[in-house]
Amino acid sequence: MNPNPELIDKALALAPTDLWVGGNWGPAASGKRLAVVNPATEAVLTEVAAGGPAEGAAAMDAAAGAAKGWADTAPRQRADILRRAFDLITERAEALAGLITLEMGKPLADALGEVRYAAEFFRWYSEEAVRGFGRTAVAPEGHLDILTVRRPVGPCLFVTPWNFPLAMATRKIGPALAAGCTCVLKPASLTPLSALAVGRVLEEAGLPAGVVNVVPAESSAAVSSPVLADPRLRKLSFTGSTPVGQALLAEAAPGVLRTSMELGGCAPFIVFADADLEVALAAAVAAKTRSNGEACNAANTFYVHESLADDFAVRLAERFAALRVGDGLEPGVELGPLVSADQRRQVAALVDAARAAGATVLTGGAAPDRPGFFYQPTVLGAVPPDSAILTTEIFGPVAPVTLFATVDEVLTRANSVDLGLAGYICTSDMKLVRRCARELEVGMVAVNTGPISNAAAPFGGVKRSGLGREGGPEGLEEYLDTIYVGLPT
Ligand code: NAD
């Protein structure tokens, strides 16, 4: 039974089900459509047009055709459109949250957090769009003025994942529009509705035709490959898994494209010996269960000092066992389903392997017997140090706890993975905080708290977690070229 039919109607009404190319909404030439499934019920919610190579090429034409006009549009006008888009998302926040919950599964309150986060990329970059770019200097010899001019990089391809279907679109579109770039957006096949709703918002905000084009697809490469091969494309920004990111980087090489890569994570959550356990537990629950555990910056592996490990694991298990699991549209639900049967299979396999290797299941450890792709919130204690679950991105509500003895040991173990997106540390020792900021091989460090994502902050990773940053002034840099003009004095 649908827990909230009125909200479902309002939510689905916000998302067009056609492709948005060159300012027109329409079906794919092939007539193909893509079913969107509600992971809480396994029922088909709706079908959207599924683009192919022809639509990829048409969207590229539209983005290239609109590029000069948009680059020449006054920054104030670009800012006003972004600001209107922020206002429209904010007005529709509840229904947009419903849309995220319907197609992706995270609980409504969590989805509302994503809507606010997503909207902020439009507001923050509307404010940044008018901040004048560039600098002047004098050559050390005194014979030359050095001027820099900032130009939009040009048409971009955006490929986004299913776990933050609204925010991953606005985190790219906001700075791109502020800088004067146009784009083709290929949202994740599992969750195209939120991206289509963003298209509708931008249209209503007055964005000229062709500046943003939204092309869902069943086969992602069918759309992305012709766009990547087009010599007019100047930039690729991708958020998703490391293997797909690596393949897209190879496809971007012939065109020597600017690239931003927001890839996988395997965040260490380190509880040092002096940590306040209550603070650490609250941070752990937030960092593990946000977005049903399907967040690239989710706490992955809990390294707890041996003096606290048993206590921490037992108390974390109590909190996980008390979480209300269900359809995210139901009031009070704290954890929804995983996005797909496939995703659940991967999570279950990691838990089963850890259990077989000797880990203790303190709570959860199985899929509940009900429709939907649910997996119980799970805490694993005494996980052997060589278990794959400690060094693999879990992407589900599973917290493996392993103990450590010394700071050197835990930093070495945390840095042994080839991913480096986020890291969480719990301590009140400022020397230790500074040491972790220097030595933990991650792009973001959260201290005594859960996720620290913010539109004004640079989000991104090191090592195989990616290239470039999204958010903050750094996020705008990704969309600007620097042109040097030398003027004899
Ligand atoms: P994914 O890599 O499977 O898919 C991401 C996007 O790429 C989707 O739009 C998908 O349709 C598309 N895609 C897949 N194969 C493709 C191909 N061969 N050519 C072109 N496009 C292709 O990732 P996912 O499962 O959607 O998302 C989960 C992953 O994303 C996790 O690894 C997570 O850590 C990562 N992620 C990273 C960040 C970040 O900011 N670093 C944020 C969110 C998610």
356 SS3 class? helix
In the residue annotation, 478 being an active-site residue is answered as no
236 and 348 share a domain? no
Q: Which of 424, 427, 425, 421 is nearest to 458 (CA)?
A: 421
352 SS3 class? helix
319 and 230 share a domain? no
- pLDDT at position 4 is 85
- pLDDT at position 133 is 72
Neighbour tally for 485: CB within 10 Å: 11
Q: Is residue 60 part of a domain?
A: yes
Q: What is the dihedral of CA 409, 410, 415, 419, to 10 degrees?
A: 150
Domain that holds residue 301: 267-454
- pLDDT at position 132 is 72
Q: Is residue 164 part of a domain?
A: yes
- Residues in the chain, pLDDT under 50: none
Q: Is residue 136 part of a domain?
A: yes
51 SS3 class? strand
Q: Is residue 446 part of a domain?
A: yes
Query: CATH number, domain at 127?
Result: 3.40.605.10
421 and 476 share a domain? no
12 and 45 share a domain? yes
283 and 366 share a domain? yes
Q: Is residue 459 part of a domain?
A: no
Tens of pLDDT, residue by residue over 189-233, are 999 999 999 999 999 999 999 999 999 999 999 999 999 999 999
223 and 272 share a domain? no
Using the mean position of ligand 1's atoms as its centre, give its distance from the Cα of residue 435 in Å. 32
339 alpha-carbon distance from chain centroid: 15
- pLDDT at position 3 is 77
313 and 217 share a domain? no
**From the alpha carbon of 465, which atom of ligand 1 is closest?**
41
Structure tokens that stand for 408 in this block: 């050197």
Q: How far apart are CA 228 and CA 244, in angstroms?
A: 14
In the residue annotation, 262 being an active-site residue is answered as yes
- The residue whose CA is least distant from atom 20 of ligand 1 is 221
Structure tokens that stand for 300 in this block: 């992955």
71 and 116 share a domain? yes
- pLDDT at position 23 is 98
283 and 253 share a domain? no
pTM over 0.85: yes
Q: Is residue 377 part of a domain?
A: yes
Q: Is residue 320 part of a domain?
A: yes
Structure tokens that stand for 250 in this block: 């190879």
Instruction: Compute the radius of gyration of the chain from its Cα atoms.
Output: 23
Q: Is residue 470 part of a domain?
A: yes
- pLDDT at position 158 is 98
- pLDDT at position 2 is 66
Query: CATH number, domain at 295?
Result: 3.40.309.10
**From the alpha carbon of 466, which atom of ligand 1 is closest?**
41
Per the structure, how many domains does the chain have?
2
Q: Which helix (H) or strand (E) holds 471?
A: none
- The residue whose CA is least distant from atom 39 of ligand 1 is 262
- The residue whose CA is least distant from atom 9 of ligand 1 is 188
* Catalytic residue (choose from 262, 393, 441, 478): 262
201 and 288 share a domain? no
Number of residues that make up the chain = 489
140 and 119 share a domain? yes
21 and 139 share a domain? yes
- pLDDT at position 417 is 97
**DSSP secondary structure string for all residues of 26-44:** E--TT--EEEEE-TTT--E
Pocket around ligand 1: residues whose beta carbon is below 6 Å from it?
159-164, 168, 186, 188-189, 220-221, 224, 239-241, 244, 247-248, 262-265, 296, 393, 421, 461, 466
Provide the CB-side half-sphere exposure for 232 (13 A, CA): 19
